[in-house]
Amino acid sequence: MHKNLDLFLTFLKIGAFTFGGGYAMIPLIQREICENKKWISEQEITDIVAISESTPGPVAVNAATFVGYRTNGFVGAFIATLGVVLPSFLIISVISFFLNEFQDFKAIQYAFTGIRVAVLALIFKALWTMFKSVKKKAVSYLIMGLSLFLTSFMRIDAVYVIIGCMLFGLLWSLLKRREKSNGTD
């Protein structure tokens, strides 16, 4: 029971004090889960983020579900997911009652501008953390550059790019495995 409470409180804190969505939560999840709690390794969090981005739903909710499952099975997945979602649900419920009355105040507009800048910084930190943990090979840079080009300039939906990258990765690993087995025969 103690582990479930710890999971819930950890993800409740992450959900309550992170603004800007799932990508902004990734550095906090990484720090809490890998560095502070040591529930999973840096490599595992990179894998979890990659899977969370590739599956339907918000990346932070998916990551919480995966971490919870790895930590304490189905119950852990449920508890972690509830913890990360509950603050947003409560805050949005309260804000929805008052937003129309306060959205024209300059102080509110400036606050949202500041939050957007902070969120951008958190997203760059998540990008940098993931970049450092990925094995850097020519094919990795090719996939990264091609993905950026396809989504940014060709305006191809990111879902199709992710599926294409997944298929390319599977094909690439099969070819490498085949080369390796042919070389040792």
pLDDT (tens digit, 9 = 90+) per residue, 93-147? Answer: 887 777 777 777 888 788 878 888 888 887 888 788 778 877 788 888 888 899 9
* pLDDT at site 151: 92
Residue 184 scores a pLDDT above 60: no
Q: What is the dihedral of CA 22, 169, 153, 118, to 10 degrees?
A: 20
For the chain, give the percent of residues with pLDDT over 70. Answer: 96
Q: What is the pTM of this model?
A: 0.58
Q: Do 165 and 147 touch, CB atoms closer than 8 A?
A: yes
Average pLDDT on 38-63 reads 83
Which DSSP string do the residues of 18-76 spell out, in sequence order? --SSHHHHHHHHHIIIIIIS-SS-HHHHHHHHHHHHHSSS-HHHHHHHHHHHHHHHHHH
